A and B are shown apart, each in its own frame.
Chain A
Amino acid sequence: MNESTHFDAVRQARRITEQAVGWYIEQQEPLSERQRAAFLDWLRASPNHVAEYFAVVQMHGDMKAAAALKQITATELVEQARRDNPIVMFPHMEKAMPEQRPVHSKRSTRSRHLLAGAASIAALALVWLGMAHWRTAEVRPQQARMEHYAATDTAQSLALADGTLIHLDRNSDIDVRFDDRYRRIEVRRGHALFDVGKDPARPMLVNVGGHVLQDIGTIFEVRRDSGGDTLTVISGRVRVLDAQKASSKGDDLPLPGVAIADLSAGQQIELDASGASPVHPAQIAQTTAWLPANISFEHETIANVARSFNAYTSTPLEIEGEQLAQKRISGVFHADNPQAFVAYLSTLPNVRIIRDADRIRVVSANQTETKSGHL
């Protein structure tokens, strides 16, 4: 199924739900003549409206019983709601938490050192990447020194000091070398997904066999199999260049040469020694199948959580509004279901969801709400 068609359908369904709920709630007080006519018009506009209205009515019938299952007192509810940084307890959270702590303590001395070294962004990412089934490593490559990372039995997540996040599949290894001019990474074997941190002063160059990938603020996946290399761009754009011979200074990573192809979100290309295939559309779900099925996070900013979802989708989430972006939440979501996360965000106060063709904007509506606030 065409992804954008599916996307439109989801958006459409959500709008109908919101309208149905809005109308349902309006009925609690007698409708004005104009509202009655508008409601009837709405019902008559589509059988989908009628069906959704029935569904909302039915759910409303269950709501009382569902709410009655809750043990929490009203005072506790009010207290939870009042807290500035909401912690949303999700079912798996208790499971995720203890596994995360040892990672923290084991590296605490180093973390403190790094924090002192103004690498707080890496520390943030460390928390974020505390996924239940993933080992977390924190990395800060030193200048002009090659760091080698390998994932053997389990997939790994790396958080580099520049904010770049890398997921390494099993049996994969990469070399990382950052200096003042470039951020260089070589994929030696396996699968790696890159979510490149922003650093305009130092371009990120990723070497894959005889090719160099130049990233322009993006998420992409590299796969090195015996059959050849595959590059898939999840979001943003990537330029593929031929690799030149290594420079004379003993720099053993080759520099970029002639540009071969430009890829944008949802595109894929196969590369091997003889050259490159034509650029073609990718099956994103297939490409990211090796990534963890859940996204879990504890006391993480909404901006970072959104970013982790973006590894799975060509319609990235964008959080607009600094206050909203920095709000901290906790929980577990299915990675292949960013809609659930968006649905959660839409329940936050003054948050509006705007769905564009190529992205989902989560906008913090700062303007004071109007009294008339039509639904």
Chain B
Amino acid sequence: MEPLSNKRKVVDNKPLNFLERAYLPAILQGLAITMKHFFRKPVTISYPEEKREFSENFRGMHSLKRDEDGRERCTACGLCALSCPAEAITMIAAERQPGEENLYREEKYAAVYEINMLRCIFCGLCEEACPKEAIYLDGDIVPSDYLRKDFIYGKDKLVEPPLNQ
């Protein structure tokens, strides 16, 4: 059969010749190779001082969006929680009171909205499920912490800052 790739290599069990058995030429060869690497530029990225550029469709920490008037878009419909394969999202809905029209876009809003970042697998299905374009995974990497409870992010960490600030 014709080889499908050019990686095919014929293996043989020829006994080593004298130079190969003497080790030293091979060792010198190896030393030359490692010396080449000695002067090569390190590939290390010194995180957190330096950060690798994310790709355009990188999925990081979630943010809950506001509309053009600075009102929260989320209506607590629960589709994101339903679509979430890791069951990381929970929310409690509340009714908008008169006078709160500048805070919430629809009559219903999420009073509590929590994402467990330890459960989240950053698949982006919540983003796809959202009918109000309220949630996007456009943030940074979720920072590390010491306690499990500190990984449950509430609205204080998720909602975008208000427009006028």
Do A and B bind? no
Q: Which residues of A contact B (CB under 8 A)?
A: none
Q: Which residues of B contact A (CB under 8 A)?
A: none
